[in-house]
Chains A and B, each alone.
Chain A
Amino acid sequence: MADQQEILSGLAEIVNEETGLDPSDVQMEKSFTDDLDIDSLSMMTIVVNAEEKFGVRIPDDEVKNLTTVGDAVSYIQSNQG
Chain B
Amino acid sequence: MSERRVVVTGLGATTPLGGTIAETWEGILAGRSGAKPLPSEMVERYELPVHFAASIAQDPAEVLSKVQLRRMDPSAQYAVIASQSAMEDAGSPEVDPLRLGVAIGTGIGGVWTLLDQWDTLREKGPRRVFPLAVPMLMPNTSSGNVSLLLGARAGAHTTVSACASGAESMGTGFEMIRAGRADIVVAGGTEAAMHPLCFAGFSQMQALSTRNDDPMAASRPYDTGRDGFVMGEGAAVMVLEEYEHAVARGARIYAEFASIGMSADAHHITAPEPEGAGASRAMQEAVERAGLTDADISHINAHATSTPVGDIAEANAIRRAFGAAADGMCVSATKSMTGHLLGAAGALEGLLTVLSVHHRTAPAAVNIDELDPKIDLDVIRGEHRSLPDGDIAALNNSFGFGGHNVALVIKSV
A contact residues vs B (CB 8 Å cutoff): 17-20, 41-42, 44-45, 48, 51
18 pairs from A and B in contact (CB 8 Å cutoff)? A17-B66, A17-B70, A18-B67, A18-B70, A19-B67, A20-B65, A20-B66, A20-B67, A41-B131, A41-B132, A42-B131, A44-B131, A45-B130, A45-B131, A45-B132, A48-B127, A48-B128, A51-B127
Q: In this complex, which of B67, B128, B130, B132 has the most chain A Cβ atoms within 10 angstroms of its Cβ?
A: B67
Q: Which residues of A contact B127 (CB under 8 A)?
A: 48, 51
Kindly list the 8 A-B residue pairs having the minimum CB-CB distance in the complex, ordered from nearest: A20-B67, A41-B131, A44-B131, A45-B131, A20-B65, A41-B132, A48-B127, A19-B67
Bound Cα distance from A15 to B252, whole angstroms: 43
Distance from A64 Cβ to chain B, minimum over Cβ atoms (Å): 15
Chain A residues near B130 (CB-CB < 8 A): 45
- A42 contact set on B, CB distance < 8 A: 131
Minimum distance in angstroms from B368 CB to a CB of chain A: 48
Chain A's closest residue to B66 (CB) is A20
Within residues 98 to 148 of chain B, which ones have a CB less than 8 A from any CB in chain A? 127-128, 130-132
Interface range for B: under 10
Cα distance, A45 to B131, chains bound together (Å)? 7
Interface SS of chain A:
helix
**Nearest CB in chain B: distance from A5 CB, A:** 25
Q: How far is the CA of A28 from the CA of B390 in the complex (A)?
A: 69
- Interchain pairs with CB closer than 8 A, number: 18
Contact partners of B131 in chain A: CB under 8 A: 41-42, 44-45
Assembled-state Cα–Cα distance A48/B131 (Å) = 10
CA distance A41 to B65 in the complex (A): 19
User: In the complex, which of the residues B66, B70, B130, B131 has the most CB atoms of chain A within 10 Å of its own CB atom?
Assistant: B131
Cα distance, A51 to B70, chains bound together (Å): 19
Complex interface: chain B residues within 8 A of A51 (CB): 127
A60: nearest chain-B partner, CB-CB: B127
Determine the main DSSP class of B at the interface with A: helix
Enumerate chain B residues within 8 angstroms of A45, measured Cβ to Cβ.
130-132
Binding site for A on B (CB under 8 A): 65-67, 70, 127-128, 130-132
The CA-CA distance from A60 to B327 in the complex, in Å, is 69
A20 partner residues in chain B, CB cutoff 8 A: 65-67
CA gap between A20 and B128 in the complex, in Å: 20
Chain A contacts for B128, CB-based, 8 A:
48
Q: Give complex CA distance A48, B127 in Å.
A: 7
How distant is the Cα of A45 from the Cα of B130 in the complex, in angstroms?
Answer: 7
Smallest CB–CB gap between A19 and chain B, Å?
A: 6
Q: How far is the CB of A15 from chain B (nearest CB, A)?
A: 11
**A48 cross-chain contacts in B, Cβ below 8 A:** 127-128
Known contacts A18-B67, A20-B66; can you find 16 more A-B pairs with CB under 8 A? A17-B66, A17-B70, A18-B70, A19-B67, A20-B65, A20-B67, A41-B131, A41-B132, A42-B131, A44-B131, A45-B130, A45-B131, A45-B132, A48-B127, A48-B128, A51-B127
A32–chain B nearest beta-carbon distance, Å: 15
Closest chain-A Cβ to B332's Cβ sits at a distance in Å of 42
Residues of chain B within 8 A (CB-CB) of A41 are 131-132
Write out the residue numbers on chain B whose beta carbons fall within 8 Å of the beta carbon of A19.
67
Complex Cα spacing A18 to B132, Å:
12
- The docked-state distance in angstroms from the alpha carbon of A19 to that of B128 is 18
Residues of A within 8 A of B70 (CB): 17-18
Cα–Cα, bound, A19→B67 (Å): 6
> Who on chain B is nearest to A39 by CB?
B131
* Nearest chain B CB to A38 CB, angstrom units: 12
A48 to B129 CA separation, bound complex (whole angstroms):
9
Determine how close the nearest CB of chain A comes to the CB of B123; give it in whole angstroms.
13
Give Cα A44 to B70, complex, Å. 14
- In the docked arrangement, what's the CA distance between A48 and B128, Å? 7
A26 to B261, CA, bound (A): 55
